[in-house]
Structure 1
Amino acid sequence: MNVSPPNMDRLRASEPVFRARWMLRGKRHSPLQDFHYATNSIFVHIPKCGGMSVLRNLYGTQKQHGHTPAAAYRSADPAFYKSAFVFTFVRDPIARFVSAYTFLKQGGVNDQDREFGQRALPWDNMDEAVIELGNHKKWDTLLRWKHFRPQYHFVSGHRAGGKYGVDFIGRQDQMQDGLDYICDRLGHPRLVAKSVNVTKRPADVALSAETQAIVAEKYAADMELWDLAKSGAF
């Protein structure tokens, strides 16, 4: 009997594998820093969701250990993770996709970003890219890259009986409101949100209704997370 080999890109792009890898990494190399313990808080920085602004405004740094998911913080120091205020910011999945696509087409911030953009996104037209990615089933490869990885992968886990491993989910498009709540919760003076590392998008870069529907389907779990953030349930 012939057995088809597993799709390794799909496996590596899956949430359970991503979470397991980061839990192991968190045990070996703790992502927790002094400012986490000093503020009794953990910020889960999801790519392309305005996180650099949070780091600079709240913690006075941009040197957090990259885009570390909640699972890694939990495995690094379970007791601290349990007691700390854990929060994140999320973004409309369609707007985030457009931002990530534009960011990588512009070369990103390093050689790895530029090489990935050239290899995985050879199309000049974003609508064409979405359709071709679907036709050629290359989404799994795309979703492995941090800027396109689903947002829910970074906050998966159970905390206080909930579905996600965070205490608060703020909205990138309402950053000031989120920061106000976080500062009040931490007993920190309120801050004025200042944008950092904003991707400059040409005015004519947008997705058609057809390709928006494709992106929404590919990011169905993120659409659910976004709806939860918009509902104010967190």
Structure 2
Amino acid sequence: MPVPKLPLQLLGLSHPYHLAWWRQTLRRRSVLTPWNERHDALFVHIPKTAGTSVLAALGADSVFDTHAPAQVYRDAYPEFFARARRFAFVRNPWDRFASSFHFMKSGTDWPMQQDWAQRHIGDQDFAAFTRRVGRDPLFRARVMAERFFWPQSFWLGEERAELVHDLYRFEEIGAAMATLCARLGIAPPAQTPHLRKVNKADFRSLYDEEMVAIVGRLYRADIARLGYRFR
């Protein structure tokens, strides 16, 4: 999807822009597939939560973009949304932030993201990037306008709305896939590969105290909602 212009980023309007783009796009194209209809299931794919691996393991059909938020599905397909089993995978915010950085720097094959990374990451390492996010409000606004860094709560919608039934943890993906496949009546995969894994280090080794606090502030709502801690 297109990235909003800088004035919208600075005004914090990236999320409304994204929702409007999806609603306009789904008037012309669909992200519902025979797989969804066959299983009465809807996967809300939050970036950098192993969603590509999950979709492959479930045998889901390909679509032009898998990252539609739950509220977009609700508005575009109200009847299907009401009956579908809706699920998502979530991830420790500190781990996900590091994964997004490494993916954008060296893992993405999308030209738009490659251009973004060249302009916003360049030769910075993870520590320098994170500290700059914490200290430079303009840079922080630009980083948080890239959807791979958005809070997971954006895709899940308001907590009280209960738009997603089942939240599975990235950290427990093996057991989660067994439970999910049983609920959907799908044979569980022999293994669940992490197709887009870029950084293999324990994320905790990448952080110092200042960086932990910076990312904790960025994702305060996710941490409270999803029950994650740094350690």
TM-score between both structures, scaled by the size of structure 1? 0.83
Aligned to 1:168: 166
Asked if structure 2 preserves the Cα contact closer than 8 Å seen for 1:49 and 1:91, the reply is yes
Q: Secondary structure at the match of 1:132?
A: helix
Query: What letter matches 2:89 in structure 1?
Result: F
The equivalent of 1:105 in structure 2 is: 105
Greater displacement, 28-37 / 211-220 = 28-37
- What are the residue-to-residue correspondences of 1:1-234 with 2, within 5 Å? 8-13=8-13, 15-63=15-63, 65-106=65-106, 108-137=108-137, 138-157=139-158, 162-201=160-199, 203=201, 206-227=206-227
The CA deviation string for residues 143-181 of structure 1, in whole angstroms up to 9 with x for no partner, is: 2212111111111046xxx44410101001111222222
Number of equivalences: 220
Q: In structure 1, how many angstroms separate the alpha carbons of the residues matched to 2:48 and 2:224?
A: 18
CA distance 1:164–1:143, change in 2 (3 Å):
farther
Mapped partners of 1:69, 1:17: distance in 2: 13
Contact 2:34/2:61 (8 A) holds in 1: no
Aligned 8 A contact 2:100 2:148 in 1: yes
Structure 2 residue runs of 5 or longer lacking an equivalent are 1-5
3-state secondary structure, aligned to 1:35: helix
* CA distance, structure 2, for counterparts of residue 180 and residue 14 of structure 1: 36
Secondary structure in 1 aligned to 2:86? Answer: strand
Distance change (3 Å), C-alpha of 1:13 and 1:207 = farther
In the aligned structure 1, how far is the partner of 2:165 from the partner of 2:219?
A: 22
* Preserved CA contact (<8 Å) 2:88 2:167: yes
Distance 1:221 1:18, change over 3 A: farther
- Cα-to-partner distance string for 1:42-96 (whole Å, 9 max, x where unaligned): 1011111000111011125454633111122112210100100010001101001
Measure, in 1, the Cα distance between the counterparts of 2:81 and 2:59.
18
What is the alpha-carbon distance in structure 1 between the residues aligned to residue 147 and residue 8 of structure 2? 17
**Residues 10 and 222 of structure 1: CA distance in aligned 2, closer, same or farther (over 3 Å):** farther
When normalised by structure 2's length, the TM-score is 0.84
Structure 1 segments unaligned to the other structure (5+ residues) = 1-5, 229-234
Cα distance, 1:15 vs structure 2: 4.3
Distance in 1 separating the partners of 2:217 and 2:210? 11
Partner of 2:3: none
Q: Distance in 2 between matches of 1:155 and 1:221?
A: 12
8 Å CA contact 1:93, 1:226 repeated in 2:
no
Name the CA distance, whole Å, in 2 between partners of 1:190 and 1:200: 25
Contact kept in structure 2, 1:175 and 1:193, CA below 8 Å: no
- Mapped partners of 1:225, 1:25: distance in 2: 30
Q: Quick one: structure 1 residues 185 and 11, their matched pair in 2 at CA, closer, same or farther if it must change by over 3 Å?
A: farther
d(CA) in 2 for partners of 1:153, 1:135 = 24
Q: In the aligned structure 2, how far is the partner of 1:54 from the partner of 1:64?
A: 17
SS of 2:227's partner is helix
What's the RMSD between the two structures over aligned residues? 2.5
The one-letter code matched in structure 2 to 1:76 is A
Q: Give the AA of the match of 1:166.
A: V
Give yes or no for contact 1:32–1:76 (8 Å, CA) kept in 2. Answer: no
Q: Distance in 1 between matches of 2:91 and 2:37?
A: 27
